[in-house]
Chain A
Amino acid sequence: MTRVAIVGAGPAGIRAAAALVEAGIRPVLLDEAARPGGQGYRTPSPGLDLDMAALMGSEAAHHARLHGLFAAIHDRVDYRPETLVWAVDGRTLHVATQGRAGMVAFDALLLATGATDRVVPCPGWTKPGVFTLGGAQAILKDQGCFIGRRVAFVGSSPLLLLAALQYQSLGAHVAAVVDTTPFGAKLAALPDLAASPRTLRRGIAYRTKLRAAGIPVHDGAAPVAIEGRDGVEGVRLRHGAREWTIACDAVALGHGLKPETQLADLAGAQFAYDPVFRQWLPETDADGRAGPSLYLAGDGAAIGGAYAAEASGTLAAAALLADHGRPQPKATLRRLRQEVARLRRFQRGLARAFAWPAGQAAALPDDATLCRCEGITAGEVRRAMAQPLGPREVNRVKAITRVGMGRCQGRICGPALADIVAAAAGLDHAAVGRLRGQAPVKPIPLVLGAEPAG
């Protein structure tokens, strides 16, 4: 019997588990969260008067179906919630559950690790009251809370509109939606966006609804600073020569998503630079194969959204089964490949329409914090680079300045760091490298690592 370990119980991981269960395999499904569903399709904490169907809107049926599927396979899966996979060593995963260390041996590994927000820092972004855009949605779905009384949604992402609408519909005051990308760039991306007309229509409907609710939507504006003494009191914006401040007590900040690729890195995946996403992405074939007995699915492989996550989870499981002597129906594989390719093409359109504002990242003022964990400014990075024989590659910059070496291990500041280094070195973004994944992929105390395996 093939021992299969799946990391991540979001849409991709659950679909993959279901496909394996159907083939008579009992996979180990490891998830860091306490409840299944991943970030977008999360399960609220118990005891909340939260109407998830209303909150999920057009995605309510998908949300319900995924959780129904999980309930149906639950007793045929070795499901381990609240379990961090912190290292991959050969055919062994190192895990930690509530302070206890353990190991999970596998013959095949399927990573469905999802994504986190990608943010461009701005002066004042470390103040209490500034949260990631995904976090603003997560706290609403998980805890039934808004991040503030008067919330500005700032960045470059289609989710700005969705999150603002979710907040507005539940009674929050939305101060504004500020989208860095000019409207013209969105029009230019229409050919790729047409790959998923349903999602495109939904995006247009979000805009219409926000306008109807009287919420200002600013295209092409960028945050100059988040202002306030102890917390957030406003966000100062610039559009061309015009500068103005929007009063708010919270900011949701998000410039798209980035795959959580640290485990794929440790498991031996190769990475290639993607100029559209401006990210280094793990290389896979069309089915999700990333190496011997290594499969990647969902947003952790390439940003594709929840539908692509489900389809790619099923597809990666089919590839895994085929590689282990159980050929899958060709028509099914073809259909899934087409589905995943179409949805990921749509996401490439989104990455153009809601572009990562590289110039804004590169222009972060010298006195602004870049690395929020270690408290290191953009100026410290530029000064270190300006020294004789100063570093021009992100891992060297990290070693010398400690940027990206703190608690988050570069998850948050990594993308902006690459733009700052590229601009300061006069190099292409692709030429400054990527922060390498290192074990443990999230901080663990030394004593945990030293405990015998359970």
Chain B
Amino acid sequence: MAIVSIENVKITGLAACVPQFEYNNNDYDLIPPAERTLLINTIGVEKRRMAGSKITASDMCQKAAEKLFSDMNINPAEIDLVIFVSQSRDYILPCTAIVLQHKMGIPITSLAFDVPLGCSGYVYGLYIMGSMIEKGQLKKGLLLVGDISTMSTSYLDPSTFPLFGDSGTATILEYSPNAEPVYFNLQSDGAGWEAISIPEGGTRNFPKEDSFILKEIMPGIKRNRFQLHLSGIDVFNFSLREVAPNIKVLLADISKEANDFDFYLFHQANKLMNETIRKKLKLAPEKVPYTLQKYGNTSCASIPLTMVSEIRNELQEKNLSLILSGFGVGLSWGSVAIKTDKIVCPEVIEYPNLGDKTPIFKITDK
């Protein structure tokens, strides 16, 4: 059982960036108005931000990191470790973290690499970086977590198109001998790998000429083989089955009660799913912040983005006990019990529209 802990590590700064371009799901004319309203109310996503073709996840992460460097007076030379958690990397190779290291003036004596996880990525990222820092040989890490999921959804697929938004975040983790231990429960289940997947473009199914051709997958759903496939019911079943027990096991292991925590930050999957999980854990609504309504499902960025957007004042002014829980693509899921101690947390940054007036979905699908 992957219940693990790290010591001597604390979060000192957190920032999040979203693209300026906003898409309102009320404009999604592929489905009739009545059904559109039911969809928006059920998934909880009304507006979301889209990066278009000119802004990458790494651009937004970089902007968030540079804001932290300036607010915290961090010199890039202090950074020992850069990890970029993302499923939308700049290039097939090399790792985007290494490209970013150079762009941000972080010294070549640092480690830099990518972790291609999605919904669970922030929790895993904290564990990976925390484990590398806790011995004190590396002192300061930059954890960049972000995705551009709208790039891989088909406008003609209502099972994915209305769900996702784009965002990039940055977290500073530091070695700190006085920090409280951080506890994780991390899990994976490859039996469900197909439930959320992009079938072609990797080495298992090499890109071919017809990979870009839109095909009717089932009535009302058209996409190509580079676009995201999501089995709604299977993912729903998985999340209802696994997330609450994962958190309960973690709490039992560290002898805590659900009420010992100030906030529960869940991956922003969809409202129906998150609310069902909240009720299973008997959590009061005020303990469970949401950003689904304004930013949609922002993949690995959803937990840090929700922290910045919804509990920024508390993070800056108070000491908090938090549960963060990410779950989805992989299948991969995990929770962490972490205490924060007055961290630097500037408000959500907007990445200016770079003159890309036509969001990418119109180019590829219409």
- The answer on A and B forming one complex is no
* A residues neighboring B (CB under 8 Å): none
* B residues neighboring A (CB under 8 Å): none
